[in-house]
Amino acid sequence: MLVQFERIISRVHAYTYRMVDWGRQRPVLRSGGDEAGTEPKEHGAALTPFACPGESVVTLSAAPRLYEDEHLISVNKLVAAPTQVNRTGSIAPASVGQLYDVHRLDTPVSGVVLYARTRTVATRLSAMFRRGEIRKTYWAAVESPPEPYAGELEHYLVHRHKENRSVWYGRPMPGGKRCVCRYTTIGESDRYWFVELHPESGRTHQLRVQLSAIGCPVKGDRKYGARRGNRDRMIHLHARELSFRHPILEHPISIVAAPPADPVWDTLTEQLDRAV
């Protein structure tokens, strides 16, 4: 049984890296910057080592690694993969041992996810997220053009846990958390507009709610107003980049993740390539 499962893992790895070579999922790492909706973890929750077979284990194990050293690791999260431990077992890549998650992405969102290898690093990274010392960049494909094409969004979000849904308000409300995000429109296609987002806060479903609030729901995000869902249940929201100073070595790091291979994302990347 164990041998059979290991063969399945091997086939998943092989298939995924063929996708990396053929598609747009090529990880990019840049260093030298001065300088990531996610919610920071308070002290980093331990992700137990590889424990039992489950879809989450296979999915994240196959995610391309963007950065790795003895203190932290970052992967390009595949669409529909969770970023936290759940009832199916560990989501940590099988070969890296124990990890600590310091932030999270919604399940239908792709892109950069950062893990700490030690509790000390987890505590430092969590504090950096809380203080806004980690710069987050997202890309979104939305169904309507933002007006104006660039600006700053400020709302107060109340998360309804039973529904796993956030509700926005334009003024302070009891239980509401202030959230701020700067955005700019960076491209468009026949049916969609592409927006780059820089959230200054990290609230549950923040970017999805804020874009919906201005009449620009994310493509595929039925929960927050999209006309229709995507076939694979993904939404077109991608964590593009995390920029920060290394919590131990103190040198600047920028970790960049290419979006999934997809006709809509391909339109954006081709436009940006032509503009260079």
Say what the alpha-carbon torsion angle 137, 140, 145, 149 is, to the nearest 10 degrees: 10
Which residues are within 8 A (CB) of 273 and not within 5 positions of it... i.e. 6 or more apart?
Answer: none
Which has more pLDDT, 247 or 14? 247
Q: How far apart are CA 247 and CA 245, in angstroms?
A: 6
Q: What is the pLDDT of residues 53-105, one digit of tens each?
A: 222 333 345 678 999 999 999 999 987 666 654 433 334 444 456 789 899 89
Domain ranges of the chain: 2-275
Buried b (16+ CB within 10 A) or exposed e, 174-188: eebbebebebebbbb
Q: Reply yes or no on whether the pLDDT at 202 is more than 90.
A: no
CATH H superfamily, domain 2-275 = Pseudouridine synthase (3.30.2350.10)
What CA–CA distances, in Å, run from 247 to 76, 117, 128?
20, 12, 9
Lowest mean pLDDT among 38-47, 61-70, 201-210, 219-228: 38-47
Contact call for residues 118 and 247 (beta carbons, < 8 A): no
Return the pLDDT at 25: 34
User: Mean pLDDT score of the chain, rounded to an integer?
Assistant: 77
Kindly indicate the confidence band of residue 169, based on its pLDDT and cuts at 50, 70 and 90: confident
